Chains A and B, each alone.
Chain A
Amino acid sequence: MGFPLPQSTTAIETLHFDVVIGGIPVRVNTGDPEFLAILQNRYAGFTGDSGEPEIEFDIDLQAPKNIADDAPVEVTHRHGRWCLARGDFYAEWEPASRKGSIRQTANPYSIDAVLRIVHSLVLARQGGFLMHSASAIRNGTAFLFAGVSGAGKTTISRLAPSDATLLTDEISYVRKHDSGYIAYGTPFTGELAKLGENVSAPLGALYLLAQGKENRIDPIPPADAVRGVLANILFFAQDDDLVQSVFRSVFEFVSRVPVLRLTFMPDSRVWELIG
C-alpha cells in the first residue's frame, strides 16, 4: 500500500447567484468573480438563495468580441431542449432537468435577454406572460400600462405619484393564479433605467395607452382587447404548441381582467383616474 498520489488538477471554484423574478429563482453558475459582481449589481433587489432553483444555468464566458446585440433572436425547441440564440449569446435549456448553459461574453445584456426569453417560455406554459408595459401598484392593486415604444410607458411611470409603487417602466410580469392574475416587479428597465420594486399585487386592470388632449378611460370591445394584449406580449418561440397556449391564455386574460383604453396627456392628473 502506497501513499495516495497528489492531485494533478486544481478544482475551479464555482460561484452561484440566484436571480428571483416573479417568484421563480434562476440560478447562474460562473467561475468568474468579476462577472458575478456584474450580475449582483445588475439584479440588486432581485436576488436570493433559494436552495432549490427552478432553473440552473452554467455560464461559459467567451472572450470579448464585436457582436451586435440587436441581431434577431431565434428560439427553437428540439428533442426536449430549448435553444436560444442571438448574435451575442447562445443558450440551451432542458426543462425536464431544469438545467441549461449560456455562452456569452462578460456583459449583463446577454444574460438579461436570456432571462426574458426563459421567463416568457415558463409563463407561457402557466397561462401568464411578459408584456411590453409599465406597471405599478396603487392601494394594493396592480395596474398595467401597455403600448409600443413611444406610447407613453416611460411618461406614465415618471408621472406616478409617491403612493404608487413602480413595478417596471418597460416589461411587466404577469402570472396566473387560481383567484386571478398577479403582477410582479421586474428588473427589466426602459428609458427610466430604474429597476422596479420586487413586490407583487393582484392585477386590477390593463390600460392600453394612447396620448391625447385629455385624460380619460374608455371601454374597448373584447376583440380589440385581445388584439391589444397580443400586440404587446413578449413571445419569441417558433413553436406551434406554445403559440396556441399563449393565444388561449390571452382570451382567458381578457375574459377575467378589464382591458381599457387610457388616453392621457403628459400631466400627473391622469393618476387621479388610476386606483
Chain B
Amino acid sequence: MSTLFLSRNPRVAARALDGEMMIMSGKDSTLFTLNKTATILWQSADGTTPLEEIVEKRICAEFDVEPAEALQDAVKLAHDLAGHEILQISDSPFQQGKATGDSR
C-alpha cells in the first residue's frame, strides 16, 4: 500500500462545536458532520504527515484497534472524504502552505 498524504480542501468551511466537526461544502453547500475518526483525519491533514503516522500516533492511540486494520479503514475513509471534496489526497507531500483549511 503506497503512502498517502492528506490536505484540507480550502474550499470548505469547517468548525468544531461540542466535539462535533462540521464541514460545509463551498461547491453545493452540503453540510457534513464528521465522526471521530474522520475528525482526526481532518485535524491531522497538514499535507506533509503520512497517513501511516496519523493512524499510528492519533487513531491507534485513541482507539483499541490493530494498526494494519486501522490503516486500511483510514485509507478508505480518506478516499471517501476526498470524494466529497472535504480532503485532498496525494501519494506525495503537498507543498507547504497548501493545507489552508481551518482545522478547528
A249 CB → nearest B CB, Å = 10
Q: Is A126 close to B, CB under 8 A?
A: no
Q: Is A63 close to B, CB under 8 A?
A: no
Count: A-B pairs, CB below 8 Å: 39
B8 CB → nearest A CB, Å = 13
Contact A248 B13 (CB under 8 A): yes
Q: State the CA gap A226–B22 with chains docked (Å).
A: 9
Point out the residues of chain B lying under 8 angstroms from A207, CB to CB: none
Contact B26 A223 (CB under 8 A): no
Given A223-B33, A227-B31, A230-B31, the answer on whether A243 and B24 have CB atoms closer than 8 Å is yes
Interface of A is mostly: helix
Q: State the CA gap A251–B18 with chains docked (Å).
A: 12
Given A223-B33, A227-B31, A230-B31, the answer on whether A240 and B17 have CB atoms closer than 8 Å is no
Total count of chain A residues near the partner, CB < 8 A: 17
Contact A230 B24 (CB under 8 A): yes
Point out the residues of chain B lying under 8 angstroms from A235, CB to CB: 29
Q: Is A76 close to B, CB under 8 A?
A: no
Q: Is A82 close to B, CB under 8 A?
A: no
Point out the residues of chain A lying under 8 angstroms from B27, CB to CB: 238, 240
Given A235-B29, A238-B28, the answer on whether A243 and B13 have CB atoms closer than 8 Å is yes
Contact B29 A223 (CB under 8 A): no
Q: State the CA gap A155–B75 with chains docked (Å).
A: 49
Within 8 A of A (CB), among B1-27: 11, 13, 15, 17-18, 20, 22, 24-27
B7 CB → nearest A CB, Å = 16
Q: State the CA gap A223–B15 with chains docked (Å).
A: 10
B29 CB → nearest A CB, Å = 6
Question: Which residue numbers of A lie inside 8 Å of B, CB to CB?
Answer: 221-223, 226-227, 230-231, 235, 238-241, 243-244, 247-248, 251
